[in-house]
Structure 1
């Protein structure tokens, strides 16, 4: 029996829900990145957190962060190298309701019911 998934805390939803190559948008040939994958890229690559710090921020294990991060990097590479449209949507996550030192918000308190971000307008 598989372990139940822990809540993956996300500080805020992305401002942009997708990116497209400058040359020939082919919506059929696309890559979909989940919100928790986006959050690991943001925390590790943009903010400069270690995987341990990222795991603490998201309230999940470091090994889980490592797996999410590796998948996110593969998706980014596929979109960049192969000129695919990248959408950021879906996934199970908990959006924090407080503030955090990390993102200028206090993230100590967050709603632990899992959310699915679906049907987001795809504006590019």
Structure 2
């Protein structure tokens, strides 16, 4: 499946309604991750709202209703973002792909797995 990087996370991604803007804390705090072995040239793109859904539900232990309220979206939308994020992360872990988070604040810095040379040893 060929995924492309959406512009800003709030634009249209095809048919249907435009995505609702989520209330995300500090999107610049997100980091990309790359495998030390596997297929570092293959990339899985994760949206900031998907990372935030993972953080709220899986790390902070919020119920989906609470997490949806914190993000300013419906529970169904949160579930969809959470489900998609889990699928993408599982794909990257199982197949050794780089995880690129849209809007990564560390892109281009030393050790960034998204650099041309891949992850640092």
Q: Pairwise CA RMSD of aligned residues? A: 2.3
Structure 2 residue aligned with 1:109: none
Q: Distance in 2 between matches of 1:86 and 1:44?
A: 19
Counterpart of 1:73?
Answer: 86
- Structure 1: gaps (5+ residues): 90-116
1:37-52 → structure 2 map (5 Å cutoff): 37-52=50-65
Query: Does the 8 Å CA contact 2:22/2:49 hold for their aligned counterparts?
Result: yes
How many residues of Structure 1 are paired with residues of Structure 2 in the alignment? 96
Q: Structure 2: how far apart are the matches of 1:14 and 1:42? A: 15
Decide whether aligned partners of structure 1 residues 55 and 16 sit closer, same or farther in structure 2, where only a CA change above 3 A counts: closer
Gap runs ≥5 in structure 2:
1-14, 114-121
The 2-side partners of 1:118 and 1:44 are apart by 21
Q: What is the CA–CA distance in structure 1 between the aligned matches of 2:50 and 2:67, rounded to whole Å?
A: 12
CA shift, 1:5, in A, is 3.1
Q: Secondary structure at the match of 1:60?
A: coil
